[in-house]
Structure 1
Amino acid sequence: MNTVQALICLCTPVPAGYRSPDLQQPCPDRDSLPALCTRSGGATPVLSRHQPVFLLDRWKNYWIRGVLSLAMISGFFLIICMGPIALLLIVMTIQIKCFEEIITIGYRVYRSYDLPWFRTLSWYFLICVNYFFYGETLADYFGALVQREEPLQFLARYHRFISFALYLAGFCMFVLSLVKKHYRLQFYMFAWTHVTLLIVVTQSHLVIQNLFEGMIWFIVPISIVICNDIMAYLFGFFFGRTPLIKLSPKKTWEGFIGGFFSTVVFGFLLAYLLSQFQYFVCPVGFNSETNGFTVECEPSDIFVMQEYAVPAVVNMYPFQIHSIFLSSFASLIGPFGGFFASGFKRAFKIKDFANTIPGHGGIMDRFDCQYLMATFTHVYIASFIRGPNPSKLLQQLLLLQPEQQLSIFHTLQYHLREGNILPPAAE
């Protein structure tokens, strides 16, 4: 049986012994045929009057991916309605799962070496780094809450020293765990853990900081990455002809370009929609009177409708302009986070980080671009958006001694009178 005949038998759902008009001899058992009918293997499937199996499997996989994608998007909107604390908890959960998936890859590769304390120390360092980052965030954004609770005051005052002491304990445990025959491998896995912490935990912390600046800085970046992923996939599926990069053979220029324009339009419209609601644009704060978190404020200028001449006069929110830059990054640079992850998986000869989500792989497979996007958003806010925050300044002032507070009060009073903002002092 030649290659063409083998393809007809392999690629069509016919039983062994079946004789098709296209064949000169009956089909043998399918398992005895070579794996030729694959899209990635370079062979062109031969079609007969029967529906090819690979097409059925392909569409089945697309349906699974599509249904689960809709379920995840619906869950995302549900969590948004639950408020910033629910978002904080889900980010931490995703972070822990991503860390576990990457660490597990290293553990499986070198499990036969029986490295002492590797997994225990990896999780210990995760706890230490999370304590450092989230403790800083709590003290920075919720000073009023910290000031009310005596234990929190102590932890906030000595937070960095406690964090360093915890890390130092883990460092000493690692040194004590060194075994002569595994020195190099143990240091390799020590570096593996720390690079994973840098990629996952540090960038998850930036996601949380973006969230506390206003949920719009959390929702828009995540949504445009999801949009770009979906639209690039659809454009590539229907129009893709030109390969984009060897690391991801399924990526095409048609999908890349189609995803870019779709994402810019989607981001612009989403920014317009969310900019209308205080719930999304206000920074997350703590209300001492209600003992709860609040998202109420006077919206900043970038969330106030303004007129622009382009060349006709149009009304839009300044944040819509910022959304164009965010969408451009998500479309042009964001995919390189996915390419980086593809290279990593190829290096370890694995298809996905895990099998957590059917048709999608692991959690890290879905968030490889999100972490890069979160870092860019944080840098963008710090460089072009964020100004002095009166709430944070007030929190810092309340931490000072009474004499220091009086000194600042008199200095501020003097400058306000010099600027004719306050009336001159009575003689």
Structure 2
Amino acid sequence: MTEVRHRGARDTEPPQQQPSEDKGSDSERKGEKYVASDTQTKVDSGVPVPPDDTPEVLNKALSGLSSRWKNWWVRGILTLAMISFFFLIIYLGPMVLMMIVLCVQIKCFHEIITIGYSVYHSYHLPWFRTLSWYFLLCVNYFFYGETVTDYFFSLVQREEPLRILSKYHRFISFALYLTGFCMFVLSLVKKHYRLQFYMFGWTHVTLLIVVTQSHLIIHNLFEGMIWFIVPISCVICNDIMAYMFGFFFGRTPLIKLSPKKTWEGFIGGLFATIVFGIMFSYVMAGYRYFVCPVEFNNDSNRFQVDCEPSDLFQLQDYTLPAILESFTGWTTVRLYPFQIHSIALSSFASIMGPFGGFFASGFKRAFKIKDFANTIPGHGGIMDRFDCQYLMATFVNVYIASFIRGPNPSKVIQQLLALRPDQQLSIFNSLKAHLMEKGLLPALGGAAA
């Protein structure tokens, strides 16, 4: 049985012709006919290559340079512009940062879904784009609803509509998703079943990659903006320094998926990023605005970033190993403990972070495209800039949960307030007895007990 190969969609070779005596059942022959009809029209050259959208002023200014140096200058100028914009949104505060994360998430989703539609547009699959955006809405409703319940509990409890939505949040989320699921089943069209299920899976994998990671980024932000800014900055630094080292010194190819990546760029970016992470963390750890958890003030109905910094952001003396002491002549150094953690963050950004880029490169090669889009001249689409950031966000969230964060008192209180009064009183008496036994609470008379 011969099956026509999906160009740009599958990398496996078509099955070999079976012996003629193995005719198969009628159902198998019908299945063969179905497969052929379902795979005849394919896009031969993948997604159309977007035109060059480099600003005309840059094209004129750099017209005398070779394409290699022109690309270097375009990337450099646009990189500085993006870094400036990044610091501007940090200055505007956590609420703006969260909105920017949501906007980036939506744009990345759009770029990936557009590729899927461009590959299979000749089939005119019904409701594909509408259902894709509907599922995005459902998943965001679920994740952001969970975030609101966790971090705005007192506000939710004050408002009756919010309290009802919070109580039945997961049921509502499931009902919304189930509605989309039924709409997809009803949209199935004869002879296009396989491709429709391809795109159903395409949408869900995109949601898993983009929306879930965006949710983790916002959770990292609530732990303190330093957990948001330092990891992102380390990825940016590694991307820039790996490009610089590779541009000037690169000779040895690193991986076939990205022929322009070199070992010189990879190693140079690693050391530069670790040094940057230590120094940048030292600067940021000295400001409460960056190290304090982002909390919602019920009195002012605004976010506030103010606290007594934890031990993680208090300067401490560390004794240097004998090897480093012989090189530096120092016996001790004064560092923030967070700087030690920044070494782990910057190392991950330099060693494992690029694999997010390699994954994206493999994806683009599968569909014969250079970039996800042409949103940023010299850089491609938003997804081209955030392919490593999403992998980094997951690591930071796991790292905080594993090595930094302890039990959350606010969540404990949320659970207690949801109990019946008799259950609350029972827990209160148990806690009081425990504190008295530990000597943390003075023993009281029988009347008080």
Asked if these proteins are the same fold (TM beyond 0.5), I'd say yes
Provide the rounded CA distance (Å) in 2 between the counterparts of 1:221 and 1:231. Answer: 15
- Does 2:420 correspond to 1:401? yes
- Specify the alignment match of 2:439 in structure 1: 420
Tell me, in whole angstroms, the C-alpha distance in 1 between the residues paired with 2:64 and 2:199.
40
Distance 1:407 1:86 in 2: 43
Q: Indicate whether 1:256 and 2:275 are aligned.
A: no
Query: Partner of 2:192: helix, strand, or coil?
Result: helix
Which residue of structure 2 aligns with residue 387 of structure 1?
406
- The reply to whether residue 198 of structure 1 matches residue 214 of structure 2 is no
1:39-83 CA distance string (max 9 Å, x none)? xxxxxxxxxxxxxx9952322222221111111111110100111
1:411 alignment partner in structure 2: 430
The CA deviation string for residues 168-191 of structure 1, in whole angstroms up to 9 with x for no partner, is 000000000001110000000000
Distance across 2 between alignment mates of 1:59 and 1:166: 51
Q: Tell me whether 1:103 sits opposite 2:123 in the alignment.
A: no
On the 8 A contact 1:103/1:193 being kept in 2, the answer is yes
Would the aligned equivalents of 1:144 and 1:286 in 2 still touch at CA under 8 Å?
Answer: no
What is residue 225 of structure 2 aligned with on the other side? 215
Question: What's the secondary structure of 2:254's corresponding residue?
Answer: strand
Pairwise CA distance, 1:303: 1.2
Aligned equivalents of 2:310 and 2:231: distance in 1?
Answer: 19
Partner Cα distance (2:437, 2:231) in 1: 44
Alpha-carbon separation, structure 2, partners of 1:161 and 1:300: 38
Kindly provide the CA deviation profile for residues 99-140 of structure 1, in whole angstroms up to 9, marking residues without a partner as x. 000000000111010100000000000000000011001101
Which residue does the alignment assign to 2:332? 313
Q: CA deviation at 1:396?
A: 3.0
* TM-score, with length taken from structure 2: 0.82
Higher relative contact order (CA 8 A, sep 6+): 2
- Corresponding residue for 2:326? none
- 2:235 counterpart of 1:225: yes
Structure 2 letter corresponding to 1:255: G
The number of residues matched between the two structures is: 376
Distance 1:189 1:266 in 2: 42
Could you tell me which residue of structure 2 aligns to residue 332 of structure 1? 351
**Long gaps (5+) in structure 1:** 1-52
- Per the alignment, residue 50 of structure 1 pairs with none
Following TM superposition, by how much is the alpha carbon of 1:404 offset from its aligned partner in structure 2, in angstroms?
A: 2.5
Query: 2:384 maps to which residue?
Result: 365
Task: Establish whether residue 242 from structure 1 lines up as the match of residue 252 from structure 2.
Answer: yes
Per the alignment, in what secondary structure is the counterpart of residue 379 of structure 2? coil
Displacement of 1:151: 1.0
Mapping for residues 24-423 of structure 1, pairs under 5 Å: 55-311=65-321, 312-423=331-442
Identity across aligned pairs (percent)?
76
Q: Could you tell me how far apart the structure 2 residues matched to 1:418 and 1:292 are? A: 40
After superposition, the Cα gap between the structure-2 partners of 1:346 and 1:54, relative to the gap in structure 1 and judged at 3 Å, is: farther
Whole-Å separation in 1 of the counterparts to 2:307 and 2:166: 26
Distance 1:203 1:79, change over 3 A: same
| 1:132-170 deviation per Cα after TM superposition (whole angstroms, max 9, x unaligned) | 011001101121111111111111111100000000000
- Deviation string for 1:348-376 (max 9, x for gaps)? 00000001011110000000000000011
- Distance (Å, rounded) in 2 between the aligned partners of 1:258 and 1:272: 22
TM-score, with structure 1 as normaliser = 0.86
Please give the per-residue CA displacement for 1:290-319, whole angstroms capped at 9, x wherever unaligned: 111111122222111112111422211111
How many Å separate the matches in 1 of 2:362 and 2:356? Answer: 10
CA–CA separation in structure 2 for the residues paired with 1:367 and 1:151: 36
- Distance of 1:207 and 1:167 partners within structure 2: 23
- 1:402 deviates by 2.7
Superposition deviation, residue 426 in structure 1? 1.4
Output the amino acid matched with 1:327: S
Q: Which amino acid aligns with 1:87?
A: L
CA distance in 1, matches of 2:64, 2:302: 55
Segments of 5+ residues of structure 2 without an aligned counterpart are: 1-62, 322-330
SS of 1:359's partner is coil
- Counterpart Cα distance in 2 of 1:256 and 1:135: 40
- Let me know the Cα RMSD of the aligned residues: 1.4
Secondary structure in 2 matching 1:110: helix
State how far apart, in whole Å, the 1-side matches of 2:416 and 2:309 are.
Answer: 24
